């Protein structure tokens, strides 16, 4: 089997997602040149792109999920998506989250009936807890990013982008564990190979950038990545499968500051009428504030990956700026 997901895998995921996820539009960012189109995955029922991968993974092995239930670890949005998908499919779900996960996300997970398990705020702690639960109960594991089924589900975003904007030149995608950019890049490059795909990370959690530039997977200390306000992007190390996709399809990874992500949240709300969380706004922030670090392009698309922002943070940013 190839190190990267195939077109057939992405198309199969698209078939299973039909009628479940929102086919999000491309929304022009007013007054920006060259053209900047926003792909607002914040409009999904769970407020983030993660529903695509979660539902695709569960339905790929629905018999086991139905018999034993599912388990996932997550910083928030993936867990929300797994809980929602499991409730829709009528299967039991357990979600392992860091004990500092935002209440807006953990409340949503609990609202769909999933069992919450709190652990220390490190990727290692979340992985260890889910492995123990799988061994004990036989749950179907639904990883947040390092999984072919999940990557194929996220790749359906790429299918939609090319269908709606066949001449896309530059695509910017936030990076956490790497599942989102992996699926999108695979879909885009198979249909428009001349398009450039750029990843975007916070300056305070730039392990994927360092990994790409060094040619090997590098990990940042958990305490360092916890500094960023972008809770959705606090993964310490890119996944194995995502790294293979990034090396094959992604031209570069740029970083944005905390202030730039917050400023992008404000401008998205006030100018484009779109709600974003800090990590969800990272790709837009790169277009707005790091244009000089990006290759020239006539048509740019930035993925707004999630809108599950803490209400208090959103209020502060709208009232007072970053």
Backbone angles phi, psi at 202, to 5 degrees: -70, 150
Residue 1 has pLDDT above 70, yes or no: no
Q: Are residues 187 and 86 in the same domain?
A: no
Q: Are residues 40 and 60 in the same domain?
A: no
Asked if residue 24 lies in contact with residue 30, where contact means CB atoms within 8 angstroms, the answer is: no
Burial (0-12, 13-18, 19+ Cβ within 10 Å), 216: exposed
pLDDT tens digits, 214-265: 999 999 999 999 999 999 999 999 999 999 999 999 999 999 999 999 999 9
Q: Are residues 90 and 222 in the same domain?
A: no
pLDDT tens digits, 128-163: 999 999 999 999 999 999 999 999 999 999 999 999
What's the whole-model pTM score?
A: 0.95
Average pLDDT in the chain = 95
> pLDDT band for position 2 (50/70/90)?
confident
Residue where the block lists tokens 């001349």: 194
Residue where the block lists tokens 């190390």: 237
The fraction of the chain above a pLDDT of 70, given in percent, is: 100
Q: Are residues 198 and 293 in the same domain?
A: yes
Torsion of CA 289, 292, 294, 300, to 10 degrees: 60
Domain boundary among 141, 156, 176: 141
Number of residues written out for the chain: 322
Give bridge partners of residue 201 from the DSSP assignment: 255
> pLDDT band for position 29 (50/70/90)?
very high
Q: Which of 39, 50, 105, 189 is catalytic?
A: 50
Distance (Å, rounded) from C-alpha 18 to C-alpha 11? Answer: 11
Asked if residue 220 lies in contact with residue 249, where contact means CB atoms within 8 angstroms, the answer is: no
Question: Is 310 domain-assigned?
Answer: yes
pLDDT tens digits, 64-101: 999 999 999 987 899 999 999 999 999 999 999 999 88
Asked if residue 281 lies in contact with residue 264, where contact means CB atoms within 8 angstroms, the answer is: yes
CATH code of the domain containing 218:
3.40.50.1100
Q: Is 50 a catalytic residue?
A: yes
Asked if residue 321 lies in contact with residue 269, where contact means CB atoms within 8 angstroms, the answer is: no
Q: Is 105 a catalytic residue?
A: no
Q: Which of 42, 176, 182, 305 is catalytic?
A: 305
Domain boundary among 85, 108, 141: 141
Question: Is 1 domain-assigned?
Answer: no
What local confidence, expressed as pLDDT, does residue 104 receive? 82
Q: Are residues 31 and 74 in the same domain?
A: no
Domain boundary among 120, 141, 162: 141
Q: Are residues 195 and 303 in the same domain?
A: yes
Question: Is 110 domain-assigned?
Answer: yes
Q: Are residues 156 and 95 in the same domain?
A: no
pLDDT greater at residue 105 or residue 38? 38
Specify the DSSP element, H or E, that contains 185: helix 179-191
Q: Are residues 177 and 254 in the same domain?
A: yes
Question: Is 208 domain-assigned?
Answer: yes
Q: How many domains does the chain have?
A: 2
Closest by CA position to 24, among listed 2, 66, 1, 52: 52
Domain holding 90, by residue range, is 51-141
């Amino acid at each position: 089997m190839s190190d990267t997901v195939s077109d057939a895998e992405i198309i199969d995921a698209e078939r299973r997602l039909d009628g479940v996820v929102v086919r999000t539009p491309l929304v022009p960012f007013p007054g920006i040149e060259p053209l900047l189109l926003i792909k607002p995955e914040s409009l999904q029922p769970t407020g983030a792109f993660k529903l695509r991968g979660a539902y695709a993974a569960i339905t790929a092995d629905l018999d086991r999920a139905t018999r034993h239930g599912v388990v996932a670890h997550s910083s928030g949005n993936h867990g929300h998506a797994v809980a929602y998908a499991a409730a829709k499919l009528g299967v039991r779900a357990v979600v392992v989250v860091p004990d500092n996960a935002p209440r807006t996300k953990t409340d949503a997970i609990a609202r769909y009936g999933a069992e919450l398990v709190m652990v220390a705020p490190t990727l290692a702690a979340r992985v260890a807890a889910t492995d123990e639960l799988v061994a004990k109960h036989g749950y179907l594991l639904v990883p947040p990013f390092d999984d072919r089924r999940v990557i194929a589900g996220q790749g359906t975003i790429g299918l939609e982008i090319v269908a709606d904007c066949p001449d896309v030149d530059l695509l910017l995608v936030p990076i956490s564990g790497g599942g989102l950019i992996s699926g999108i890049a695979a879909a885009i490059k198979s249909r428009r190979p001349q398009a450039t795909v750029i990843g975007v990370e916070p300056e305070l959690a730039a392990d994927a950038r360092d990994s790409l530039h060094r040619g090997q997977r590098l990990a940042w200390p958990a305490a360092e990545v916890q500094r960023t306000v972008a809770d959705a992007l606090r993964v310490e190390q890119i996944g194995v499968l995502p790294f293979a996709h990034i090396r094959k399809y992604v031209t570069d990874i740029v970083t944005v500051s905390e202030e730039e992500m917050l400023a992008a949240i404000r401008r998205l709300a006030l100018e484009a009428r779109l709600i974003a969380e800090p990590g969800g706004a990272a790709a837009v922030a790169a277009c707005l504030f790091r244009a000089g670090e990006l290759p020239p392009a006539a048509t740019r698309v930035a993925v707004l990956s999630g809108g599950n922002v803490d209400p208090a943070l959103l209020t502060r940013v709208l009232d007072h700026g970053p």
